[in-house]
Amino acid sequence: MSNLLIKEFSFILVYLLVGLGFAVTPIVISYLIGPVSRGPKRDEVYECGVETIGTAWVQFGITYYLFALMFLAFDVDVLYLFPVVVAFGKDFVIRDFIEIVIFLGILSLAIVYAWRKGVFDWTMK
Partner 1 sequence: MADLYQKLVMLLGDDLTVLILGIVLTLGFIQFNSLFLIWLERKVAGHMQLRLGPMEVGPHGIIQTIADGIKLVGKQLITPRYVDKWLFMLAPVIVLMPVPLAFLVLPVHPGVVVLDMNVGILLIFGFSTLNVLTILMAGWGSHNKYSLLGAIRAVAQNIAYESPLLVTVITAVLWARSLNMSAIVDAQDKIWFVFTPWGALAFLIFLISATAETNRAPFDLPEAESELVAGFHTEYSGMRFAMFFLAEYTNMFIVSAVGVTLFLGGWRGPILPGFIWFLLKSYVLVFMFLWFRWTFPRVRFDQLLGFAWKVLLPIALVNLVVTGGAIKLIDLIR
Partner 2 sequence: MKNFAFNVFVIITLIPSFWVALSSNIVHAAFSLFFTFFGVAGLYVLLGADFLGVLQVLVYISGILVLIIFGVMMTQRAQMEHISTRLPGRFAGAVLSVLVFGGFMVAVYKTAWPKLTELPEPVPTTSEIGNLLLGKYLIPFEVASVLLLAVLVGAALIVRQSVRKE
Site for partner 1, rule CB under 8 A: 7-8, 11-12, 14-16, 18-20, 22-24, 26-27, 29-31, 33-37, 42-48, 55-58, 60, 64, 67-68, 70-71, 74-75, 78, 81-82, 85-86, 88-90, 94, 97, 100-101, 104, 107-108, 111, 114-115, 120-122, 124
Which residues in the 83-112 window bind partner 2 by CB under 8 A? 83-88, 90-92, 95-96, 99, 102-104, 106-107, 109-110
At 26, which amino acid appears?
P
> Given the complex with partner 2, which of 31 and 122 has the nearer CB atom?
122
Q: Is the dihedral of CA 112, 115, 120, 125 positive or negative?
A: negative
Helices of type H across 1-125: 3-33, 62-87, 95-116
Residue 122 contact partner, candidates partner 2, partner 1, none, CB within 5 to 8 A by sort of partner: partner 1
**Rama region for 2: left / alpha / beta (φ>0; ψ in -120 to 50; rest):** beta
- The DSSP element (H or E) to which 43 belongs, if any, is none
